[in-house]
Amino acid sequence: MFDLSVITVNAPLLWQGLLVTLLYTVTTIATGLLVGFTIGLAQLSRYPIIKLLGRVYVEFFRNIPLLVILLWSYYALPIFLHVNITKAWAGYLSLSLYIGAFYAEILRAGVEGIDPGQVDAATALGMSASQRMRRVILPQAIRRMLPPLVGQSIIQMKNTTLLSAITVPDLLYQGSYISSFTYKPMEVYTAVAGIFLIILVPLTALARRMEGPHASAH
Amino acid sequence: MPVAQGPEKEKEVCSFLKKRTKKLLIPFGCTANKIKVFCFFSSEKKAFLSSFGPTRRAVIGVALALPFAARADDPSSVLAAIRESGVLRAPVMLGEEPGYIKDHVTGDWSGYYVTFLRSIAEDLGVKLQPVETNWGNLAADFQAHKIDVAIGVNPNPQRALVVDYLSVPIFSDAWAVLTQKGAHAATWAELNVPAKRIVVQTGSTMQIVARALLADAQVTPVADRPTALLELQSGRADAVLLSIFDALDVHAHGIGDVSLPRPILQNPATLCVARQPGNAGFINFLTTWVEQQRSLGLAQATLAQAWKARGIDLSILPPDFTF
């Protein structure tokens, strides 16, 4: 039997969890964009050492599972560096740095995907490197980058559920909490899935619409 | 600004390194005023050291002094550090009712384990600081110095390699199984057949019990109790291995039936602390606290109150069973 009262009675807890999930989603995406932009530009640098550092960052965060980064930052930093980081900071930093690596790759691919002939044309018109980037490359690259950026951001919202592993009270944590005292996990996890669908389906649709004109332009 | 040279420089470097070393040792249970760190320069006496620069000589001196620093530590240092900090940090976790109960509105923690922990904190003259975690992360919490003591743990020699258990339990319950409604398990042997699907919690003593007594059954370890119950409720498991008190609490919510398979297996719940120099006094304090709780019937009274509040019926236990 599906007992809906479990959800209605505990709606305030789910609401609190949703707010925490949204808070982490928004703040880590904002920070991740800054990190991604910086690292992405580093990867495009003409200086090999900066390029290498960018690449190392991306490969480091892209190839370690997020849960490991999360647990490592929360538990290993105090052990190895005697930095007693709170779970809120561990969660925020891990998620931001992790998604930053993916955003950086999207930026790099977006810029490198622009026809080199356009760079030559802009150079022929006498534009400097920064002018070429601002006026010719980035406006086109950003249009191409938007769908994968939205896609990655949707994944980021789902990634926040890993925060429950270090007991940050996000939506999944509240779901586990409610099921721990009501003993009705099926109802609770169904509700959690429903909430994610309600928020993410419109965003996915938005990403698809963004892809549409871009795809038809080619 | 003149730069210190020669003996002055050596003194400066030495003082800096001493301070840093003391800081480094504090997480290992040494209080700053109890640590004696020796830092010396050996220019003439030990010829091999004279070939190094002043900073390097000091580093070597401090490195040589570290064993002495640890030895100089006294058995009360952990106890003193807790009292100095004003808080006793202990793990609390979801899905462990009635031992740990989180208030739905305030988020405050209660439950019989929390009552015990508050009593310990009160005797220490400090406040209890609940640190939320889960059983799987408990060892990391100790290693990262996020908690001082854990309660409700079952003695386990593997874990005793890294943490110190108290030699006395605060109480003992028994291992039970929560079966599908209408099913019953009179003995462990009845469950130990290939057709039976048993769920246990990862990293718990249940796993050891299952390995020993249910080797022929299909044993599935899961992360926590809600997941274990989900396995049972979705019909993917025949039984969940739980302590009798936890099983009765779940049953009080209308889930499954509780069996106490024979032979009855006692499940002692005790306390553990991080293994570190200077914790002997803390362990002694906790042991004394447990012995008082048991000898004066305080622990039993706390537990009885908890059962009453949760509507738990203990009649399944044999009349001569004591916890």
ipTM of this complex: 0.74
For residue A18, the enclosing domain spans 5-216
pLDDT of residue A106: 95
Question: Is residue B222 predicted with pLDDT exceeding 70?
Answer: yes
Select the CATH number that applies to the domain covering B172-266 from these four: 3.30.200.20, 3.30.9.10, 1.10.3720.10, 3.40.190.10: 3.40.190.10
Instruction: Give me A190's structure tokens.
Output: 């169904």
Question: Is residue A7 predicted with pLDDT exceeding 70?
Answer: yes
A81 interfacial to chain B (CB closer than 8 Å): no
Distance of CA B221 to the CA centre of its chain: 21
B187: confidence class by pLDDT, cuts 50, 70, 90 = very high
Classify residue B106 as exposed, middle or buried by CB count within 10 Å of its CB (0-12, 13-18, 19+).
exposed
Q: What is the mean pLDDT of residues A79-83?
A: 80
pLDDT digits (tens, 9 = 90+) for A128-137: 888 888 888 8
Question: Is residue B26 predicted with pLDDT exceeding 90?
Answer: no
B24 interfacial to chain A (CB closer than 8 Å): yes
Which one has a higher pLDDT value, B141 or B49?
B141
A71 and B226: CB-CB below 8 Å?
no
pLDDT of residue B2: 45
The backbone torsions φ and ψ at residue B109, rounded to the nearest 5 degrees and listed phi first, read: -105, 140
CA dihedral A41, A42, A45, A51 (to 10 degrees): -150
Set of chain A residues whose Cβ sits within 8 Å of the Cβ of B137: 71, 75, 165-166
Q: What is the mean pLDDT of residues A35-63?
A: 94
Question: Is residue B52 predicted with pLDDT exceeding 60?
Answer: no
Same fold, B77-164+274-310 and B172-266: yes
B226 interfacial to chain A (CB closer than 8 Å): yes
pLDDT of residue B57: 57
Looking up residue A63, the CATH number of its domain turns out to be 1.10.3720.10
* Contact in structure between B134 and B150 (CB atoms under 8 Å): no
Domain parsing of chain B, residue ranges: 6-71, 77-164+274-310, 172-266
A67: confidence class by pLDDT, cuts 50, 70, 90 = very high
Give the residue among B279, B306, B7 at the shortest CA–CA distance from B145: B279
Tell me what the pLDDT averaged over chain B comes to: 81
Report the CATH architecture of B77-164+274-310: 3-Layer(aba) Sandwich (3.40)
DSSP B138-195: HHHHHHTT--SEEEEEPP-TTGGGTEEEPSS-SEEEEEEEEESTT---SBHHHH-STT
B70: confidence class by pLDDT, cuts 50, 70, 90 = very low
pLDDT of residue B22: 56
B94 and A78: CB-CB below 8 Å?
no
Give how many domains chain A has, as a whole number. Answer: 1
pLDDT digits (tens, 9 = 90+) for B283-313: 999 999 999 998 898 988 898 888 888 888 8
A181 and B255: CB-CB below 8 Å?
no
pLDDT digits (tens, 9 = 90+) for B75-87: 888 999 999 999 9
A81: confidence class by pLDDT, cuts 50, 70, 90 = confident
Indicate the range of A126-135, A180-189, B6-15, B141-150 predicted with least confidence.
B6-15
Nearest CA in chain B to A14: B104
Cβ count within 10 A of residue B35 = 22
* Contact in structure between B139 and B159 (CB atoms under 8 Å): yes
B234 and A186: CB-CB below 8 Å?
yes
- Interatomic CA distance for residues A155 and B292, integer angstroms: 54
- Within 98-157 of A, beta carbons closer than 8 Å to B belong to none
Chain A interface disruption, residue of B22, B201, B229, most A CBs within 10 A:
B229
pLDDT digits (tens, 9 = 90+) for B111-167: 999 999 999 999 999 999 999 998 878 888 888 889 999 998 888 887 888 889 998
